[in-house]
Structures are given as C-alpha cells and as structure tokens.
Homo-oligomer: A and B are copies of this chain.
Amino acid sequence: MFDIFAKCIEESNANVFRTQDEMEARLGELQREMQEAGIPTVIVFEGWSASGKGSMISRLISALDPRGFKVRTMAKPTDEERRYPVMHRYWLNIPANGKIAIFDRSWYRCIDFKDGKKLKAEDDGKIYNILDFESQLTSEGYLLIKIFLHISSDEQKRRFDKLKSVKSTSWRVKKSDIKQNENYIKVYRLLCELLDRTNTENAPWHVVNTSDRDIAASNIYSIVISAMERALEQKSRGLAINPEGPAVHAPVKPQVSVSLRDVDLSLKVESNSSYKKRLSALQDRLFVLQNELYRRRIPLIIAYEGWDAAGKGGNIRRVTQALDPRGYEVIPIGAPTPEEKNRHFLWRFWRSLPKDGHTAIFDRTWYGRVLVERIEGLATEAQWRQAYDEINRFEYSLTSAGAVVVKFWLHIDSDEQLVRFTARQNTPSKQWKITDEDWRNRSKWADYETAVDEMIARTNTPDAPWIIIESNDKKYARLRALEVLIAQVEKRLAIKD
C-alpha cells in the first residue's frame, strides 16, 4: 500500500544534487526541447490544505518561459461547469503539443477528501473517471507529472495559525481546512488509499514534503527535470514516452452488429403525401421531447456519419426543423484546425459538447479517426486501433453523465452515389457540393466499407448504439432517423434520474 510518508523520504533521496541556478537553467532548456519535440506536459499539484501549492507553483514557473505554460487553477466548479460531464473542464484545459499546463488542484477533487471519509463503492466510478482521463492523455503521448505536497499535522496547524494571525491572509483559512486538521489521521489514510489506487505506471505519484520550502522546491525541480529528460530520451529513440498503464475499460461491450452488405436498401416511402404527414407528426413529437429534455436537463448528442452524398445535410435539416434553435447546435466537423491538431483528437469534441438540456448534432464526428484518418494514413495504425477503446470510453463519459447518444450511419450503395454525384455535377447551383476529394473517396469505397464494418462492430454499445439508416430513398431515411431518435429519447426519459 502506498504510504505518503515513506514516499516523501524516497523522493527526497532521489534528488539530483545540483544547485538551484543549475536546475533553473536546465529546466529552461528542457522546456525548449519539449517544445521542439512537440511533447505536451501536464503537471498536477495536489496536497494538504496549506501545503504551499501556490508558492511551489510560483517557484516552478519562475524557471519557465511564460510563452510556454499556463497555470490552471481549478476552483469548485461553477454552476455553468456543472452542466457538463465532470471531466469536461479538465479536457478543455489540456495543453497543446510542446506546451505545459500546470493544474493547481485537479480532477482528484471529484473525491472530497477534506473530511477523511473512507472510499465507498460509489467512488469507484470517480476513480474510473480519473484513470480513464489520465490514460487517455498518456496513451496519446502526454507527459503527466503528478505531485502531492505533504505536511505533518503539526506543521499544518502552525501554518493555519500563522495565516489566521494576519488580517490580509486570515480569510484563506476555511472551516473545512480546520476540519481537515482535526481529522488529520483519517484524511491521511484516505489519501494513502486514493494515491495508491491512482499510482499507475503511466502516471505515477511523486510526494514532496514542503516543511522546508527550499528543499521542497529543489525536489520538485528534480522531479520535473527527470520526467522530461526521460520523455525526451524515449522520444529520441522512437519509443512511446509513457510506460503502458493499467487497462482501463468502460463497462460497455459492443453488441452484435450487421455488416453494411446485409442492409436492405430497397426500403422506401410509399407516397409523397404519406411522407409529409408522417414527417410532420414525427417533428411535432420531437419538439415536445426537446422541451422535456430541457426541463429534465438531459443533453442529447446526435452523431451523423455516412457516405458522401448519402443525404446527411437534408436529414439533419429535418431534425433541426423540429427543434427550437435556442436549444441546439449543428457542429460541422472538417479537417482539424492547427489548434485542434495539436491536441488529443477528442479535445475538439469535448469542446463542442452540449450543456445539459441542450442538443448537439455532429455533422461528421470523432469517428473520423477510424475512417478518413485510418484510410488516408493521417493516424498511425496504433493510433486508430486504440481509438476504438478511447471512443467507447469517451461515449461512456457522456452516457454515464446522463446524455442520450445516438449515432447514425447513412447508408447508400455505390450505384446510388454515382447517380447523385453526377446529378450534382450537372446542376449549376449544386456544383459547389461536389469536389475532387469526393471522387477520390469514392475510389476507396471498398476500404471504407471494411473500416465502417469494423467501426460498427467495435463501438456499437447499448447506450450509444449505431443505427444504420437505409438511405437510397432520402425520404425513407429522414423518417427512419426521426423514429429512432424519438425512440432513443423516450427510452432515456423513461429512466428516473
């Protein structure tokens, strides 16, 4: 079992004996090397109340070029932040390649360790969230340095007393801090357990005793220097910068799925008049459900994928026509911007999530990783292979936070696509819709087919199911999408929160 006190001693023995100036200069160098190597670094500061997180961060950053780092102070979540999944605000703040994000307090605060209550079964979900987030980062090449600042019970009390004695600092000592000191032993045990369960190969804990601030600062310098040196060494040898962590699996299993070849594309609507009537009825129903989702603060996420010219735009429009525009957003996904390309591939989707009660409709999605990026070689095989699991975990973060997630594959056959491409080419007002890239993609039909089948087989989970929409007949496809969407929302609404 992880013992904070023993770990402190060990860590301080591991200190490289260099002068403060040498270490500062070295850190400055390493920051530039990490920038060049494009390795993003996340440094977490956790610790006891009054353990000196502020001043330790201050010491650390005094050696760094401000153009390369950000300090992220994670106070209690605001009301606005509470409208998203717990990890949302941490995802938003991950650094770009080559940059450093320093977290003053972190995702570990999802477990309230101030009162020292033992971890319960219900905390397992929170620990899963922590391990999932950390492994999402490290498996994509983020260097994660977690530092826990330790002080003894007596030292903590002395610091509280000192803070309280001066008017300008007394407001910093909260009641909950005093309580932490009174329950010190209990909190200590809880922290040992928490650190133990999250002390992974890919994201190990470092513990630093801050009784002497100079020694502590030099320990921290040393920890960061070693970690960066090792990461650069690994990278220069062409290896993954992080050791593999524990397997993190969302409690979701893909269901049986069908192959695209087995889809019945002959399905069509009977008549135009019955289509119009049915469309209008479904849209009315969806509007009522949108209000109900809003009232119950349930977010809805609709993912649209499909062949070029399968009719995504028209299908999406039939959904949005039903909705109050103040409650939804259509998020078109194209090639990533430089800002997006420089971060974990899921970052831009975390950034576009709907608030509770709102709807986000993704016109193309995170599945680009295992479709276009796979086929065009924009992601390495290792990257797209591990993406299935990363995506399942991503969607689990959404559904376990209460969201409805529906994923559509709009399916047409190759002949139908040719007909539509040709029609676009021959209609002046529609020519802008067809590009050389569409023709290039078309020539890779078979590769895409394999990739789509594998994607559906690996990510067709019960709470975030894939729905293949037979789309050779556009009108049929629109009604079908609305029907499934309504059914999925109704299923979710039947569950009490």
A337→B341 CA distance, assembly (Å) = 14
| A78 in the interface (beta carbon within 8 A) | yes
Contact of A325 among B29, B54, B429 (CB under 8 A): B54
Contact of A339 among B79, B169, B313, B339 (CB under 8 A): B339
A67: which B residues are within 8 A, CB to CB? 332, 334, 363
Cβ-closest chain B residue relative to A324: B54
Contact of A169 among B61, B291, B363 (CB under 8 A): B291
The dominant DSSP class at the A interface is helix
Interface size bracket, A side: 35 or more
User: Is B168 a contact of A66 with CB atoms below 8 Å?
Assistant: no
Cβ-closest chain B residue relative to A326: B73
Copies of the chain in the assembly:
2
A58: which B residues are within 8 A, CB to CB? 320-321, 323-325
Contact mask A265-303 → B, CB, 8 Å, 1/0? 000000000000000000000001001100100000000
| A62 in the interface (beta carbon within 8 A) | yes
| A329 in the interface (beta carbon within 8 A) | yes
| A389 in the interface (beta carbon within 8 A) | no
A57→B58 CA distance, assembly (Å) = 49
The answer to whether residues A66 and B321 also contact, given A78-B79, A338-B338, A339-B337 and a CB cut-off of 8 A, is no
A166 to chain B, nearest CB (A): 9
Cβ-closest chain B residue relative to A169: B291
| A330 in the interface (beta carbon within 8 A) | yes
| A80 in the interface (beta carbon within 8 A) | yes
CB contacts under 8 Å to B, within A28-79, are 29, 32, 54, 57-58, 61-62, 65-67, 70-71, 73, 78-79
The answer to whether residues A329 and B70 also contact, given A62-B321, A78-B80 and a CB cut-off of 8 A, is yes
A324: which B residues are within 8 A, CB to CB? 54, 58
A23 to chain B, nearest CB (A): 14
User: Is B326 a contact of A54 with CB atoms below 8 Å?
Assistant: yes
Contact mask A425-464 → B, CB, 8 Å, 1/0? 0000100100000000000000000000000000000000
A25: which B residues are within 8 A, CB to CB? 429
A15 to chain B, nearest CB (A): 23
Q: Which of A67, A70, A338, A363 has the most chain B CB atoms inside 10 A of its CB?
A: A67
Q: Which of A58, A313, A325 has the most chain B CB atoms inside 10 A of its CB?
A: A325
A71: which B residues are within 8 A, CB to CB? 325-326, 329
| A317 in the interface (beta carbon within 8 A) | yes
A482 to chain B, nearest CB (A): 16
| A316 in the interface (beta carbon within 8 A) | yes
Cβ-closest chain B residue relative to A321: B62
A325→B66 CA distance, assembly (Å) = 12
Q: Which of A104, A326, A329, A337 has the most chain B CB atoms inside 10 A of its CB?
A: A326
Cβ-closest chain B residue relative to A294: B171
A324→B324 CA distance, assembly (Å) = 45
Cβ-closest chain B residue relative to A291: B168
Cβ-closest chain B residue relative to A290: B168
Contact of A337 among B79, B171, B292, B338 (CB under 8 A): B338
A341 to chain B, nearest CB (A): 12
A29 to chain B, nearest CB (A): 8
Cβ-closest chain B residue relative to A53: B326
A54: which B residues are within 8 A, CB to CB? 324-326
26 contacting pairs across A/B (C-beta < 8 A): A32-B432, A57-B325, A58-B321, A58-B325, A61-B320, A61-B325, A62-B321, A65-B313, A66-B313, A66-B320, A66-B330, A67-B334, A67-B363, A70-B329, A71-B329, A73-B326, A78-B78, A78-B80, A80-B80, A104-B325, A104-B326, A168-B291, A168-B292, A171-B295, A338-B338, A339-B339
Closest 10 CB pairs of A and B: A66-B330, A67-B332, A73-B326, A57-B325, A58-B325, A168-B291, A54-B324, A78-B80, A71-B325, A104-B326
Q: Apart from A58-B325, A61-B320, A79-B79, what 19 extra A-B contacts exist at CB < 8 Å?
A: A25-B429, A29-B429, A54-B324, A57-B325, A58-B320, A58-B323, A61-B325, A62-B320, A66-B316, A66-B320, A66-B330, A67-B334, A71-B326, A78-B80, A80-B80, A104-B325, A168-B292, A171-B295, A337-B338
